[in-house]
Amino acid sequence: MNLAPVFSALADETRWDILTRLGARELSASALADEMPVSRQAIAKHLHSLAGAGLIEADRVGRELRYRALGAQLSALANDLDRIGREWDARLTRIKAIAERL
């Protein structure tokens, strides 16, 4: 599985800011733009890439789109990372065990 695209979505400071705000409460693009120092269009682009990475979802409420963060996606990513990390360390300890047997 290819993790780089998801990390690239998470790598931007502004995008992470947006994500944490959406983790705390649902917000529209305009509402986010009101409380952040960038234009609404910049926010909209970030929301698109975040949605593309499966990290947020939107619901229509009246004429606005309320976005919310999807924690399950983050947890799934965390699972993959943990698995990979353990693999690497397992290899190291295996090597070390062989070395000590000499």
Partner DNA sequence: GTCGACCGCAACTCTGTGGTTGCACTTTGG
Partner DNA sequence: CCAAAGTGCAACCACAGAGTTGCGGTCGAC
Binding site for its own copies (CB under 8 A): 3-4, 7-8, 10-13, 15-16, 23-25, 68-75, 77-82, 84-92
CA atoms within 13 A of residue 32's CA, in its CB half-sphere: 31
For the CB of residue 34, give the shortest distance to its own copies in the complex, in Å: 21
**46 touches, from its own copies, DNA, none (C-beta below 5 to 8 Å by class):** DNA
Beta strands in 2-99 (DSSP E): 56-61, 64-69
Closer to its own copies by Cβ: residue 63 or 88 = 88
